[in-house]
Structure 1
Amino acid sequence: MKSELSSTDAIKRWDKYAELISSSYGETGDIHREIFLNPTLFRLMGSVENKKVLDAGCGEGYLSRMIAKAGASVTGVDYSQNMIQLATSKSPEDLKITFRHGNCEELSFLQNKSFDLIVSNMVLHDLSDYEMAIHEMNRLLVDGGTFIFSILHPCFVTPGSGWVKSDTGEKLYWKVDNYFFEGTYNQNFPIDQEEKFLFFHRTLSSYVNTIVRAGFHIEEMIEPKPSAEMIEKYPSFEEDFRCSDFLVFKLRK
């Protein structure tokens, strides 16, 4: 665990491994996004037709493309220049998505009240100043606008968490440790690289209190679990009924 690292360090690592990450993405992102996050995000979004949507931390742009195909006018921003280049190259011109390079902690090039809906998918735990980012999302939304974001579940994905296994490799239970530590630590992805990505862990109360101070009302909190359809397609994910990996918020300005 290293609390002194910053978003700058995280950006360098995302830039460095941008192509490696995007190589595992299909039309619906990676497998965890397909199983857990996309169904939850789109249920919470509802109809996006003719809405102005910001994909805050768009990565290689798969979610921007899905939202644009559903009829929205989409702007995608990401702090990795290499990710923005990949998103632009992978997105057909007829979708008319605008991709911009920028850090969600400070998006001064975007005007106040520019968007009806903001979606930030697995981004806030990659930012050192998540409080500023949440305030920025409030600034950019129209009055009554919606902010939906997903993160690693702060109660279960913590520094030192992981499966405890028997001598034969059977998964016995999920161990949580260092919950009240707030700072950075290395992810185990990509596992074949010496330099890992960074998480910025915070407690659940830190997230909720920041949300309230920024001027949002919490409409829903969802801990996504695999559907019966997804379990049939990916049987190994039945173990995800034992512990929640993700947490999704729907907020109203």
Structure 2
Amino acid sequence: MNTAIGTKEAIKRWDGFADTYASHHTENGDIHKEVFLNSVLFELMGDVKGKRVLDAGCGEGYLSRLMAKQGATVTAVDFAPRMLEIAMERTPDQMDIDFRHGNLEHLDLFNDGLFDLAVSNMVLQDLANVESALKEIYRVLVPGGCFVMSILHPCFITPESGWEKNDSGDKLHWNVDQYFYEGAYEQKLGKMVLFHRTLTTYINTMIKSGFSLERIVEPTPSQEMLKKHPTFEEDFRCADFIVFKLRKAGVESQSSWFSPIVP
């Protein structure tokens, strides 16, 4: 763990890891996105046809392409130059996606109120300054615009977490430690830099940025996915991911939680 590491180091490592990362992605993303996240993201986003959508941290671009196929006008931004190159290589010329290089912490390349919808799929844990990123995404949304974001579940994926196993290698239970540490740590797989923060910090920062919170989903595998990938049965023991649906002020939502109180 190293609190001195910032987003600049994360960008450097993602740029170097981009080809390996992309090699594990099909048209539906990697296996975890296919099993856990895609159906939840599209459920929370709703009908994207005709909407101006920001793919905030697009990676190799699979989600941008899926949204474009459903009729969205997609602008995709990522902080790793090599990742953007791969995204553009994989995107057919006739698919009109505007790929941009940029860091979500500073979206100066976009005017205020430019997008109807923003989605960030497994990105915010890669940024040192999540408050700046949330404020920027809030700024570029239209009033009443929606933001859907998925991250590693901060309650269970911590700087010191993993399976406790017996001598035979059987998984006994999931260990969690260093939950209240907030800062950078190195992921064991791929030596990528992640930035851990508590669930409290995430939610309070969303509220501070102006968003109201409409829904939270902790995805589990569907029966259809379990038939295809039976080993994911173990994910009913512990949540790996959490997904939020947020709303920018401007349109009342009867189902919203933690909405700012207006005197």
Code of the residue aligned with 1:141 in structure 2: it is L
1:133 aligned residue: 133
Deviations 1:106-140 (A, max 9, x none): 01010100000000000000000011000001000
1:102 aligned residue: 102
2:83 aligned residue: 83
1: CA distance between counterparts of 2:206 and 2:238? 24
1: CA distance between counterparts of 2:93 and 2:145? 27
Tell me the CA shift for residue 189 of structure 1.
2.0
Task: Give 3-state SS (helix, strand or coil) of 2:38's partner.
Answer: helix
1:119 aligned residue: 119
Task: Give 3-state SS (helix, strand or coil) of 1:154's partner.
Answer: coil
2:236 aligned residue: 241
Deviations 1:137-156 (A, max 9, x none): 10000000000000000000
TM-score, normalization by structure 2: 0.94
Question: What is the percentage of aligned positions where both structures have the same residue?
Answer: 56
1:251 aligned residue: 246
Task: Give 3-state SS (helix, strand or coil) of 1:93's partner.
Answer: coil
For residue 228 of structure 1, the aligned residue among 223, 227, 250 is 223
2: CA distance between counterparts of 1:147 and 1:7? 22
How many residue pairs get aligned? The number is 248
Code of the residue aligned with 1:122 in structure 2: it is M
2: CA distance between counterparts of 1:94 and 1:50? 17
2: CA distance between counterparts of 1:48 and 1:10? 31
- 1:27-176 maps to which residues of 2 (within 5 A)? 27-176=27-176
Deviations 1:52-87 (A, max 9, x none): 000000001000000000100000000000011111
2:192 aligned residue: 197
Deviations 1:189-220 (A, max 9, x none): 22xxxxx1011000000000000011100000
1: CA distance between counterparts of 2:171 and 2:125? 26
Task: Give 3-state SS (helix, strand or coil) of 1:17's partner.
Answer: helix
Task: Give 3-state SS (helix, strand or coil) of 1:92's partner.
Answer: coil
Code of the residue aligned with 2:210 in structure 1: it is G
2: CA distance between counterparts of 1:103 and 1:24? 23
Say whether residues 1:11 and 2:11 are aligned partners: yes
2: CA distance between counterparts of 1:32 and 1:11? 22
Dislocated runs of 4+, deviation >3 Å: none
Tell me the CA shift for residue 165 of structure 1.
0.4
1: CA distance between counterparts of 2:189 and 2:40? 24
Q: Which runs of 5+ in 1 are unaligned?
A: 191-195
Tell me the CA shift for residue 247 of structure 1.
0.5
Code of the residue aligned with 1:83 in structure 2: it is M
Tell me the CA shift for residue 95 of structure 1.
1.4
Q: Which runs of 5+ in 2 are unaligned?
A: 249-263
2: CA distance between counterparts of 1:213 and 1:45? 22
Code of the residue aligned with 2:53 in structure 1: it is V
2: CA distance between counterparts of 1:125 and 1:119? 14
1: CA distance between counterparts of 2:125 and 2:181? 14
Code of the residue aligned with 1:28 in structure 2: it is N
